[in-house]
Amino acid sequence: MTDILDIRGISKSFGALKASDDISLTLKSGEIHALIGPNGAGKSTLINQIAGGLKPDSGSVHFSGQDITSLAAPARARLGLGRTFQISQLAPEMTVLQNAVFGALGADGRVSRFWRPVMKDRSLLEVARSALERVGLNHRAGERVSEISHGERRQLEVAVALTQKPKAFLMDEPMAGLGHGGSERLTGFLRELKQEAPILLVEHDMDAVFALADRVSVLVYGRIIATGTADEIRTNPLVREAYLGDEEEHA
Ligand SMILES: Nc1ncnc2c1ncn2[C@@H]1O[C@H](COP(=O)(O)OP(=O)(O)OP(=O)(O)O)[C@@H](O)[C@H]1O
């Protein structure tokens, strides 16, 4: 398997706090690599630096063999680095279809498109509808986002990211707030999706992580303390002490 993403020695401090402390990790084609860790461990900070929203103090990010460390987020997205967010970026007063079309428009990259009625643009509509169909939301295309359920919004976020035809996905807590049924559906979908675009997944739902991830990295106080398969991570004494053991005590 080739490395689609190669993060080398990323460090980032906020004042005296080292939120990322010499982090290296890879994302290989065909895999889901989950990033887990306690609250405040630095997961979102790391994802932001990979997506281009935050500049690392040192270290580099390579994507498909290209050094993208100095590129801004939109340029990274255009190269095929897709992203879903912890906090919804959807426009609540627009319909499901309009949100997906605007996602597709973002990927299109031609500013001239803004001067045409985008909701009549066949190629954009086709991309948007096919993304909605893939996540099982086509039947809700005409609803306003404010009227659909939380789980459907999460599905729509994935659909919007799909319209950008990513080569790799960064996903920040896609299961958050989903009920058991919702997270099972999304789990099944992510398992299919990883075949065409590998996924770096930040997730608190441990059942989902252990069911889905080909590899898991554990982040504690800005450092990766272990990377391995779900079984290796579950039985790793360092991880149990620093993280999982702690969870069980509170269970
Ligand atoms: N812009 C910022 N300025 C100052 N401190 C920050 C900033 N962003 C994050 N931090 C701090 O960096 C640390 C890592 O935060 P981060 O949000 O990356 O953790 P996380 O693992 O994603 O947490 P959670 O699981 O709660 O989302 C925290 O102590 C946080 O308070």
pLDDT (tens digit per residue) in 87-135: 677 889 999 999 999 888 876 655 445 556 777 788 889 999 999 998 8
Amino acid identity of 162? L
Residue 14 CB–ligand 1 contact under 6 Å: yes
ipTM of this predicted complex?
A: 0.96
Stated pTM of the model: 0.88
- In a 3-state reduction of DSSP, which class is residue 193? helix
- Residue of minimum CA distance from atom 8 in ligand 1: 45
CA–CA distance, 220 with 64 (Å, rounded to integer): 28
Nearest CA to 25 out of 186, 177, 213 is that of 213
Closest CA to 173 of 145, 208, 197: 208
Top mutation candidate among 45, 204, 218 for ligand 1, by most atoms within 8 Å of CB? 45
Decide: 244 and 234 in contact? Cβ < 8 Å.
yes
pLDDT tens string 169-197: 999 888 887 777 777 878 888 898 898 89
> Looking at ligand 1, which residue's alpha carbon is closest to its atom 14?
42
Per this entry, what is the length of the chain?
251
Q: Is the CB of 30 under 6 A from ligand 1?
A: no
Q: Closest Cα to residue 234, out of 205, 212, 206, 208?
A: 206
Q: Given CATH 3.30.750.24, say whether it is the number of domain 1-80+166-251.
A: no
Residues of each domain in the chain carrying CATH 3.40.50.300: 1-80+166-251
Distance 47 CA to ligand 1 centre (A): 11
Pocket test for ligand 1, best of 44, 49, 87 (most atoms within 8 A of CB): 44
